Amino acid sequence: MRIGAVQPRLAARQHEAFVRELEGAGAAVDCVPFVHGAFDSVFTKDNAVIVERRDGRVEALLARPRHVEREVEQDVRAMSFGALGVRVVAIASEALEGGDIVLQPAGGGAFVGYGFRSARDAAFDLEEFLDREVIGLELRDPRLYHLDMVLTVLDDGTALVCEEALTEAAFRQLVAHPAITSIVRVPLREALAFGVNLVQVGSTIIWGADAPATTRALAARGYRVRRTELGQFHLAGGSAACLVSRIHPQGRAAGLRDSAPASTAA
């Protein structure tokens, strides 16, 4: 990650193509404004976790970024969420970034990664907000510093995971969890190429990764994998999942609204 490495016009074109892919797959997309001077604000997943309650209320737990470069986004992002009808009801009391949160399917609990950007005790804030069990998973590879670079859980309970990036204890916890129906091991080289960092919209997987082994594993399970060029965002350390703040419905089966990310305009 190096300031000045990104070409803004090319990044904007890649972002526009990414949004078209999401919409083409059936997602409803709302864009939130770029926070000028906060270059990582394109990665809206880091700002909050958003859920739709049983009664239709859409609420957010605002993250507490570890580094000041991300902290400056939070007030502006909270206002932009509010303009979209998302009510911020709590702010994490410990270091917590949305990239470390992986929710389980069908309104279940969540996994939270810790070790680099989020604190282990942040799981308590997330558990209170979700009113669901939250399991902490310790990360061990500083190159894969957010959980969503290491783990994603698809709607059918399939977990794509880079085993080498979790501690042995964390991997055992994941495999034994009742929400996980099957495991797809993602090679380390493909995880480093953002082969776990994806957005699922129904049976479509959208990502920016060149990950042939993981692509084959997904296709064998009936998923349609769509790759869109996100190289400019890779230079900043993020990819498809980082660019959206998905609205997660609680207490009912996942539907189209579950696939509606709020995505920044690059």
Q: Give the model confidence (pLDDT) of 195-219 as tens digits.
A: 999 999 999 999 999 999 999 999 9
Reported as a pLDDT band with limits 50, 70 and 90, residue 265 is very low
In a domain, residue 257? The reply is no
Which residue type occupies 214?
T
More confident residue, 38 or 63: 63
In a domain, residue 96? The reply is yes
Residue 243 and residue 45 in contact, taking contact as beta carbons nearer than 8 Å? yes
What CATH number does the domain containing 134 carry?
A: 3.75.10.10
Domain count for the chain, please give it.
1
pTM: 0.92
In a domain, residue 212? The reply is yes
Give the pLDDT of residue 262: 46
In a domain, residue 255? The reply is no
DSSP letters for 85-140: T-EEEEE-SS-B-GGGEEEPTTT--EEEEESSSS-TTHHHHHHHHHTS-EEEEEB-
Reported as a pLDDT band with limits 50, 70 and 90, residue 25 is very high
More confident residue, 148 or 1: 148
Mean pLDDT, residues 180-187? 98
Mean pLDDT, residues 214-227? 97
Range of the domain at 80: 8-250
In whole angstroms, give the CA distance from residue 38 to residue 42: 9
The pLDDT tens digits for 42-63 are 999 999 999 999 999 999 999 9
